[in-house]
Structure 1
């Protein structure tokens, strides 16, 4: 019997999809961009009718296999990466089992776009197959679009409590949602998170932001880090995002100006979002110096349409009961400056906070939200503040 190459590839694909768990390294999940097509015998038009129709994934509820440029009523559906994606109806979900290393931390990156003006959300859950506690956070709000392309890249993190975990992303049920609505999801990837430790030279964890979620090579708009509770695992080790519904953006040197190293954080939501770290190495009553870089991402932010003089951007840094404000006025063309704050720790731990004091959009009239970047943050103990030494 002769088997052609196409048939052999199909047999191998079906066999691989039947594995209990996908063993993956840093990068895309197996069929994370949904380019392997579903089993057509388990489809009705664009709707998935069989829970195992999509290779490597299990589906529940109303899930649609979307093609780039597909029209739904008067709306053309957008596909974030490649030619295909999935749309999740109300209370629909997809699930994949992943082989991980117990005790390590991981971040999942994916892209999503909303199809209607409703307040759409996505809920992510990790369930170890051996029965350890479920990990889930607050539903990710995707109502606000932070890029001009119509979709955004999001990140979410977890600690592996077993060697095989089941990852689920679900669109929570909404009572009055239109059947034609529901978010489109695509381009799932995973990354092992290293957990940097504070040192005597820097009491902060991950102050240079070099450790963070996976950024796809073609991701020109950065990766969003959503708000989280204090007990959640952060995609940015050491840091929390304090907000009701807004985010910060994790950016890299491939597409943005970064003050130092390869990664930084862009504060894109003004006073609605704070970048926070609790520092446990401080001693009540002792003096410390906080230093940091704030800059312009070279993405046309904070500038007027003709790049004339503009008010610029401002970043407030708070450490304990002290604060300082640093101006960022580079007219959207890049550049950075250093800020410094010397303070006496009122207690331990000491909370360090960064917040943008204004709301900004890019100068290309796209309405894309943007803001100043924060990078290269350090906290060290000092004998006494420099101003006091000058008086002695």
Structure 2
């Protein structure tokens, strides 16, 4: 709104012990530049390469809050349309299927991410995406559910918590000039060595292109 912005960090004081409070340390501000489409892909930022700042020395991932809490998404092109956040992870600290970053769906069906793309009614498209695990001890039978138009795909993935990924394909037909793509984890997961730490499957490299 102006060339000067005031930033305030405030503890609302809702903890049980008023003598305690959250620890505040490193702070970063990152300019979010306009993002263009990648040639051959109707999805903006399909590889999640553009996102919030990641500190180089240490990262446990960055929680991106849902749209109801933060209407200005730090993930260009994407909407967190759920009750819980999704986690932005980087290649330096996690296993990422492709590129430098990806999204971890950490709260089951309460952790969903979506994008609305331009389509031609009655035309067929292929939706391709990659799922895996972040090599962070998240294990078990995972499943990412993908929605595009009126079509749904349940993509399973068995994780040993040591990294790995697979690619899934969903063919759909557009019913309007706008089509919503939605992804969420079908199950809840925790780390193998910490059952209080929520985790989930990794989503990356989302691509949509028309079928000839």
Query: TM-score w.r.t. structure 2 length?
Result: 0.92
**Superposition pairs of residues 215-254 of structure 1, within 5 angstroms:** 215-229=54-68, 232-244=71-83, 246-254=84-92
User: Based on CA coordinates, which of the two structures has the bigger radius of gyration?
Assistant: 1
For residue 153 of structure 2, what is the aligned residue in structure 1?
324
- Report Cα offsets for 1:313-335 as digits up to 9, x if no partner: 11011111111011111311111
Structure 1 residue ranges without an equivalent (≥5): 1-160, 303-309, 384-392
Whether contact under 8 Å (1:194, 1:211) holds in the other structure is no
Deviations 1:183-237 (A, max 9, x none): 3322111112233222551111100100000111133311111111498221100
**3-state SS of paired residue (2:9):** strand
Task: For CA contacts below 8 A with separation 6 or more, give which structure has more relative contact order.
Answer: 2
5 Å-filtered alignment, 1:154-169, equals 161-169=1-9
- Work out which of the residue numbers 345, 348, 359 in structure 1 matches 2:174: 345
Deviation at 1:162, TM superposition (A): 2.0
Determine which of 174, 180, 184 is the counterpart of 2:23.
Answer: 184
2:99 corresponding residue in structure 1: 261
Alignment of 1:46-85 (within 5 A): none
2:51 paired residue among 186, 193, 212:
212
Alignment of 1:1-392 (within 5 A): 161-172=1-12, 178-229=17-68, 232-244=71-83, 246-279=84-117, 281-302=118-139, 310=140, 312-383=141-212
Where 2:97 maps in the other structure, the secondary structure is coil
Aligned equivalents of 2:39, 2:168: Cα separation in 1: 20
Q: State the secondary structure of the residue aligned to 2:180.
A: strand
Q: What stretches of structure 2 of length at least 5 have no aligned partner?
A: none
Q: In the TM superposition, what whole-angstrom CA distance separates every residue of 1:72-130 from its partner, at most 9, and x where no partner exists?
A: xxxxxxxxxxxxxxxxxxxxxxxxxxxxxxxxxxxxxxxxxxxxxxxxxxxxxxxxxxx
CA RMSD of aligned residues (A): 2.0
